[in-house]
Amino acid sequence: MKEIVLIKVGEIVLKGLNRKNFESMLIKNMKNALRGADRCKITSSQSTIRVEPLDEDADIDEICERISKVFGIVAFHRAAVAEKNMDSITEVALKYLEETLGGASTFKVEAKRSDKKFPLKSPEICRELGGIILQNHNHLSVDVHNPDVQVTVEVRDLGAYIHASVIKGAGGVPVGSSGNGTILISGGIDSPVAAWMMAKRGLRLNAVHFASPPYTSQRAEDKVVRLLKKVSAYAGNITMYTVPFTEIQEKIKNDCPEELFTIIMRRLMMQISQRIAKDTNSSCLITGESLGQVASQTMPAIVTTDEASDMVVFRPLIGMDKEEIIRISRKIDTFDISIEPYEDCCTVFTPKHPRTKPVLKYVKEAEEKAGFDEMIERAVSNLKITNITP
């Protein structure tokens, strides 16, 4: 029996004239997400997107798993395909749902008839199929309000489909439909979650990672690549820019007051990330900061960090507790990687007593005295580029 996947799109419906663009973006993202899985044909008609496996023995579980990570999809159905006549519809429905109906006590049939040429009206389809199901499963009774199983028949221009369950999609809007954003990614728990949240709202991602070898190891950098790979299952392709940060960090350590090490480092990260963002057609920065979580995330510290760039900075975790962030990191499967114990450049030269209320004037004076301009140029001209794909 042939099975396909029927996609229900979400907020796309709200977008009026842009709808077509959104839909083609979604289909492109679905194709990318399905690359390397069994071959599928994706078609759109009558506001429904169909994913049709081209091989008899395609792995539909794998296809559904991948589709469940594509933003812009609210829900989807695995459905059996029937010919557009009642004999085929009833035959396929009985066979496809044998087990499901066998384990239920009550059911109802619903019909959606978008092919207006189909001779039976929706209530007639329900009555006929409902009657035959009752004849074949005499333990069942009909419950129109709260059935154990709802059998849905969709008669559409391309075919008739039967399904009895719904799978939750990833929600959000299609990646790319909101433009491009640059995530500052560390190996920690927070930034991969922040990346996922903004991809969910339609941003296509670039990533910037600061590495300070030999203080930070190749393994720490590989960990970030593995984290981004997990995020890319949802966010699609991501270009990662690794910034050589050693020289700058050593200069901070040698030439700046110790209690300002962290804040100056964070400001330089913002400046360099902004340069990369602008060069790569990205319109905003994204960080994993959460208010009050650590010394560099007090309100005055965030305000002082923010001042270093003139680009919009999205901080999707700002009002979230650590438990809420961890819950998402487990869901997107980044948690176990994030807790692997590799050093991050943030843990190199950390001051014993970081300023939790930095004064911008003094911070800027210290930065000017040290003079970072040339080093920033060197850092941005020595980026390492890694392409991450789902």
341 DSSP 8-state letter: -
288 DSSP 8-state letter: -
Instruction: Rank residues 67 and 185 by Cβ distance to ligand ATP and give the closer one.
Output: 185
Nearest residue by C-beta to Mg ion? 188
The string over 340-378, giving b where at least 16 C-beta atoms fall within 10 Å of a residue's C-beta and e elsewhere, is eeeebbbebbebeebbbebeeeebeebbeeeebeebeee
96, 161, 210, 241: which one binds ligand ATP (CB under 6 A): 210
- In the region spanning residues 177 to 196, those forming contacts with Mg ion, defined by CB under 5 A, are 186, 188
Q: Which of 217, 236, 220 is nearest to 188 (CA)?
A: 220
Contacts of 154 (CB under 8 A, 6+ apart): 6, 48, 79, 111, 112, 114, 160, 161, 162, 163
345 binds ligand ATP (CB under 6 A): yes
Task: Please return the burial class of 303, using the count of CB atoms within 10 Å of its CB with bins 0-12, 13-18 and 19+.
Answer: exposed
> Sheet of 203-211: strands edge to edge?
312-314, 284-286, 179-184, 203-211, 238-244, 384-388
339 binds ligand ATP (CB under 6 A): no
221, 306, 344, 367: which one binds ligand ATP (CB under 6 A): 344
346, 375, 379, 388: which one binds ligand ATP (CB under 6 A): 346
CB atoms within 10 A of CB 135: 10
- What is the Cα 332 distance to its own chain's centre? 8
- In the region spanning residues 292 to 311, those forming contacts with ligand ATP, defined by CB under 6 A, are 293-294, 296-297
Among 98-106, 173-181, 187-195, 225-233, the segment contacting ligand ATP (CB under 6 A): 187-195
Pattern 147-186, binding to ligand ATP, x per CB under 6 A? -------------------------------------xxx
25 DSSP 8-state letter: H
Instruction: Rank residues 180 and 293 by Cβ distance to ligand ATP and give the closer one.
Output: 293
> What gap in Å lies between CA 43 and CA 349, rounded to an integer?
55
What's the closest the beta carbon of residue 275 comes to ligand ATP, in angstroms? Answer: 14
154, 289, 306, 367: which one binds ligand ATP (CB under 6 A): 289
In the list Mg ion, ligand ATP, none, the entry touching 294 (Cβ below 5 to 8 angstroms by class) is ligand ATP
Residues that bind Mg ion (CB under 5 A): 186, 188
| Contacting residues toward ligand ATP, per CB under 6 A | 184-186, 188-191, 208-210, 269, 287-289, 293-294, 296-297, 344-346
